[in-house]
Structure 1
Amino acid sequence: MAKVEELGAAVATARRLAEDVLAPRAAAVDAERRWPAEGVAALRAELGGLVVPESCGGMGHGLLAVAQVGEATGRSCASTSLCFGMHLVASAVIAAKATGDQRSRYLKSIAAGEHLTTLALSEPGTGGEFWISRTEMTTHDDDLRLTGAKSFVTNGGHADSYVVSTVAADTEALPGQFSCVVVDRDTPGLVWGAPWQGMGMRGNASGGLTLDAAVVPRSRLLGEEGDEIWYVFNVVAPFFLMAMAGTYLGVSAAALEEARRHVLGRQYAHSGADLAANPLVQHRLGTMWARVERTRRLVYQAALEAEAGGPEALLGLCSAKAEVAETAERVINDALTLTGGIGYAQDGPLHRHLRDARAAHVMAPLTDTLRTWTGRALLGRPLLGD
């Protein structure tokens, strides 16, 4: 019961920060395409250690907390929610097999709200297969040298550390030996490219990163060499899927509320009748609510099933992000129909929600990939390959 109460307190904190800090800045973050420094700082200070083990001073929460906090923040600003969600995913990766040095150097400062981390996995030319790395890692005495390029690095240039995927390039290394390394922001050899300009999610600072023979101590290696695939499917995927599902669930809920408020406040000028009295409007709004609510229950149940190691965890996790991507798009479109020309205004919140929501389909794993993985799991086939 204590842990449930702690989770409730964490979600309440997320809702407070979303309303007080994120919401007032959301439109400007989008319009100015700026990284949401104030929102991220507020979330990091109070919830930065959400998934860090209690032994390191963190809150020790898991997937359900990530989903519920993501929903709270996604309601107010999807860009900020994505930025903080990536911090939570990377924190979970660092914590999964952390050494004593990594616990002291990273996890304790993350738990104290003093350190922002993120992922740097995706690379140019690999499409949605973000687990494939061509960034080379070679060993030099007690150091590791990293050479390669990363794309779509959320919080790029703003985070204090980056979880980077690599492939061993030493002559004696096994082919395709992928590993994960933590790279500090001040490491020589990190070169940031021009900021990515997206249709939506404009505040996530998703830039490209070149690692030009960047040298890090071997102590920054996460787990053992060759552990990257384990990290991707046991930590990165579950936490990322829940962070994104929560965020876009929040976007869906925000669009539903925009539509409800509009309907309650509108009257027909020629007759004085309330728009809320229209049976077709009532039917459409009721359908929207049911769509959001059933998706919410899928997301939360998927998180609980995965935390318990249940037999349908993979099915739930994959389906959660796929379903919420389709729900967000459908609910926002319905909200635009209900709000008419007022909702369609370019500077209105629904305009931002629609652009932000479209990204849910293209953020790897893609919606089509997740549907395929679900089918393969149901048929007892491996997710990758034949």
Structure 2
Amino acid sequence: MQLEDILDLVKEITESTVREESSIIDREARWPEKSMRLFQAERLMGMVVPKESGGLGQGLYALAKSCEIIGEASGSTALCFGMHHVASAVIAAKATPQQKKEFLEPIAAGEHLTTLALSEPGTGAHFYFPQTQLLSVDDDAYIVNGAKTFVTNGGQADSYVISTMGVEPTASTHEFSCVVVDKDAEGLTWGQPWQGIGMRGNSSRSLQLQGVTLPASRLLGARNDQMWYVFQVVAPFFLTAMSGTYLGIAQAAFNEVKQHLLQRSYHHSGDSLSQVALIQHRMGTLWAKIERTRRLIYHAAQQGDQGDPEAVLAILSAKAEVAHCCVDVVNEAMTLAGGIAYRENSRLEMLLRDARASHVMAPTTDILYTWLGRAILEQPILDS
């Protein structure tokens, strides 16, 4: 499929299934099973898998557009969709022939769902410094011990890309690596289902790993490669997926309040709210805010796909800017819609709860602006 065909199919599934499922998964904090399985059945979950492994061979731009389309209907579903693709990109980046056969080909065929597990209790937004331990048993096996938090698709995926640190006496204090763990690996224990105020359908769960034994073939790249993965693969794909998702939420709020303003009129005069000059002005500023953020996200994704070294600046700023855009637009939409927006379980209420996660989802907005400033001033992005 060409990109246009892919996006048309994403739109079709979003309108037929994702939108219909969105209120149920929010109300019941239920993982979007129907939508995710349909994306798999249509082989869209292989979007970023290379064509040589049966995938669609797309990159950041396709991911941003897809998450925007899905996010306009359901932020939770877009988050689940996006995190699968981030993990798929991590696996694909330095995949061995065995990993291509074991993971990438089934992902492309719609038979395997994966996700990323980087965040940990105690490290906060510093997800790139894992404390989960990786111990080499011999040349053929590893043992993993540790804990992860906020694992999107937790308990639903077939595999989990886990960040670890080496603990052998010979390992350096910063020997970080990524491994792939099967869903049914012995030693995995899942925490309680996610009960957040927003993004309630993403099955964001905690995970304990106790004595999990892995074959050496589950190591991604080489030992001590995680920082390469984080900044060359995880960061661009994760930030792009999240940027598209929150852009979709902002657009949904705009669409919702626009429809309200077009339909609502004053009983005493018969004038439509759409005829009020102040409201016209405020809607104009909202449109401009969304559109300039959209152009930044698309530009960042296209730069990244082209391998432009300056893409990092746009990618970092895109997720920070869309967080402000999303929260501001939803807040303003709530105000413009008036008291009706404050009904329990209203569409705008759900969007408000989902939007707020944009600032705190690591890397947080503050961290992104700090990294951006360091990159501009030619300083190391991370502290030593």
Same topology, TM > 0.5: yes
Matched, 1:50 2:54: no
2:14 to 7, 11, 18: 18
Give structure 2 stretches of 5+ with no counterpart.
Answer: none
Q: Provide the secondary structure at the position in 2 that maps to 1:230.
A: helix
Would the aligned equivalents of 2:47 and 2:85 in 1 still touch at CA under 8 Å?
yes
1:372 to partner: Cα distance: 0.7
1:175 to partner: Cα distance: 2.2
Would the aligned equivalents of 1:44 and 1:84 in 2 still touch at CA under 8 Å?
no
Aligned position for 1:158: 156
State the distance in 2 between where 1:311 and 1:243 align.
Answer: 19
State the distance in 1 between where 2:180 and 2:245 align.
Answer: 25
Aligned position for 1:200: 198
1:45 to partner: Cα distance: 2.4
Moved more, 126-135 or 171-180: 171-180
State the distance in 2 between where 1:309 and 1:138 align.
Answer: 35
State the distance in 1 between where 2:81 and 2:75 align.
Answer: 10
Look up the equivalent residue of 1:107 and give its one-letter code. L
Aligned position for 1:318: 316
Matched, 1:34 2:30: yes
State the distance in 2 between where 1:349 and 1:14 align.
Answer: 22
Aligned position for 2:213: 215
- 1:233-267 alpha-carbon deviations (Å, 9 max, x no partner): 00000000000000000000110000111111111
Q: Provide the secondary structure at the position in 1 that maps to 2:2.
A: helix
Aligned position for 1:132: 129
Q: Provide the secondary structure at the position in 2 that maps to 1:162.
A: strand
1:113 to 110, 113, 116: 110
1:250 to 248, 252, 257: 248
Aligned position for 1:8: 4
Q: Provide the secondary structure at the position in 2 that maps to 1:140.
A: strand
Q: Provide the secondary structure at the position in 2 that maps to 1:163.
A: strand
- 1:334-380 alpha-carbon deviations (Å, 9 max, x no partner): 11111111122121111000110100100100000001111111111
Among all aligned residue pairs of Structure 1 and Structure 2, give the percentage whose two residues are the same amino acid: 53
State the distance in 2 between where 1:176 and 1:311 align.
Answer: 25
Look up the equivalent residue of 2:63 and give its one-letter code. V
Moved more, 222-231 or 38-47: 38-47
Q: Provide the secondary structure at the position in 1 that maps to 2:128.
A: coil
Q: Number of residues paired by the alignment?
A: 382
Would the aligned equivalents of 2:136 and 2:168 in 1 still touch at CA under 8 Å?
yes
State the distance in 1 between where 2:347 and 2:272 align.
Answer: 23
Moved more, 310-319 or 105-114: 310-319
Look up the equivalent residue of 2:48 and give its one-letter code. V
State the distance in 1 between where 2:149 and 2:374 align.
Answer: 28
Moved more, 295-304 or 37-46: 37-46
Would the aligned equivalents of 1:66 and 1:242 in 2 still touch at CA under 8 Å?
yes
Aligned position for 1:92: 89
1:310 to partner: Cα distance: 1.9
1:197 to partner: Cα distance: 2.1
2:335 to 334, 337, 343: 337
1:328 to partner: Cα distance: 0.6
Aligned position for 2:145: 147
Would the aligned equivalents of 2:115 and 2:161 in 1 still touch at CA under 8 Å?
yes
Q: What TM-score, normalized by structure 1, do the two folds share?
A: 0.97
Would the aligned equivalents of 2:29 and 2:194 in 1 still touch at CA under 8 Å?
no
1:65 to 58, 62, 66: 62
Would the aligned equivalents of 2:112 and 2:158 in 1 still touch at CA under 8 Å?
yes
Indicate the RMSD between aligned Cα atoms, in angstroms: 1.0
1:196 to partner: Cα distance: 3.1
1:16 to partner: Cα distance: 1.2
1:273 to partner: Cα distance: 1.1
2:120 to 120, 123, 133: 123
State the distance in 2 between where 1:113 and 1:368 align.
Answer: 37
State the distance in 2 between where 1:37 and 1:23 align.
Answer: 13
State the distance in 2 between where 1:336 and 1:133 align.
Answer: 39
Q: Provide the secondary structure at the position in 2 that maps to 1:48.
A: helix
1:280 to partner: Cα distance: 1.2
Give structure 1 stretches of 5+ with no counterpart.
Answer: none
Look up the equivalent residue of 1:352 and give its one-letter code. M
